[in-house]
Amino acid sequence: MSFRSREPHQRTPLLLLLSVLTPSLNACLVNNSTNGSSVYCHPPAEILIRLPTNTVYLSVEFFNLTQLPSNILQGASNLQELHLSSNQLENLSAEFLLPVPQLKVLDLTRNALAQLPPGLFQASAALHTLVLKENHLEILKASWLNGLKALQYLDLSGNRLWTLPPGLLANFTALKTLDLGNNQLATLPPDLLRGPLHLERLHLEGNRLKELGKDLLAPQPGLQFLFLQNNNLTSVAAGAFRGLQKLDMLDLSGNLLSSVPTGLWVSLGRPTRAMKDGFDISGNPWVCDQKLVDLYHWLMANNDTMFSRKDTFCAGPGTLKGQLLLEMARSQ
């Protein structure tokens, strides 16, 4: 990949015109409007090394770049969105984002980052969306995220995270969505959800979680969406969902639950408030004995929002194997 300097200033309008009319030329597509310029660089374009000073949106995607051209953001101090997905970036420099203090969205999906330099976000107080999906992160240090103050959306899914540090979200009072799906997490720090004042969406699916304790969710009574499917949950504490009166979606499918404690469901769904979206408890090895009576009662009250009914059946005991849980509930 070679990086060509931009044409001399007086020829810029011609270059822009050509790039809009005939994107097959090896130039990035630049779309200027009253709000600023949007610059789209996709292969086989050559990457503009000096951006228009009014650039608000930059996409440099699908190049498999292992490194970005140095100073690529220099002079683009109005940049609000930076999309760098589908490259092969392994590291970034701590100064990378200094020129763009107004940045609101940073998308680094599908790169090869195994770490971030401490200080990367020292000038990123406006950043509200950070996507690090499908990188190579195995650990995360709270210091890597220092400086973020406005974060609302943090996507760390599809990495190799097996542990998280304490206090990770302590400073992220505005966080609404946390996506930790499809990692290798077997445990979570008990204080994980302390910090955000109003988390709405939590993705923990596709990890190796074995149990859900009673305190993890307690700091987030306003949670609306909770995804726990495809873990190794064998136990959920009786108080784990207490106070979750706004929950509209609960996915517990594809776990190893054979039973759940009495009282688990008391704050969810009806009779208090129907879940708007619904719940899924399919793909668990339910043992349909008296211990499930509490769940049966709850199922009857909430049957209209149950997903995957035909895949929600007893694994035992004995001849009850294969019976639908909903049928068991109806026959109580």
Ligand X SMILES: *[C@@H]1O[C@H](CO)[C@@H](O)[C@H](O)[C@H]1NC(C)=O
Q: Which is nearer to ligand X, 182 or 242 (CB)?
A: 182
Q: Smallest distance, Å, CB 279 to ligand X?
A: 13
Binding string to ligand X for residues 50 to 79, with x set by CB under 6 A, is what?
A: --x-x--------xx---------------
Length of the chain, in residues: 332
Q: Quick one: which segment of 86-94, 97-105, 108-116, 233-241 binds ligand X (CB under 6 A)?
A: 86-94
Distance of alpha carbon 157 from alpha carbon 205, whole angstroms: 9
Phi, psi angles (nearest 5°) of residue 130: -125, 115
Distance of alpha carbon 276 from alpha carbon 217, whole angstroms: 20
Q: Are 93 and 116 spatial neighbours (Cβ–Cβ below 8 Å)? A: no
Phi, psi angles (nearest 5°) of residue 132: -120, 25
My answer on whether omega of the bond before 44 falls inside 30° of 0, hence cis, is: yes
43 touching ligand X, by CB under 6 A: yes
Q: Which is nearer to ligand X, 18 or 300 (CB)?
A: 300
Binding string to ligand X for residues 90 to 129, with x set by CB under 6 A, is what?
A: xx-x------------------------------------
Task: Using CB under 6 A, count the residues that bind ligand X.
Answer: 25
Q: Which two tokens stand for residue 98?
A: 């200094």
Q: Which is nearer to ligand X, 43 or 263 (CB)?
A: 43
Please name every residue paired with 280 in a beta bridge, in sequence order, or none if there are none. Answer: 251
Distance of alpha carbon 252 from alpha carbon 217, whole angstroms: 15
146 touching ligand X, by CB under 6 A: yes
The single residue among 26, 35, 71, 74 that binds ligand X, judged by CB under 6 A, is 35
Binding string to ligand X for residues 254 to 283, with x set by CB under 6 A, is what?
A: ------------------------------
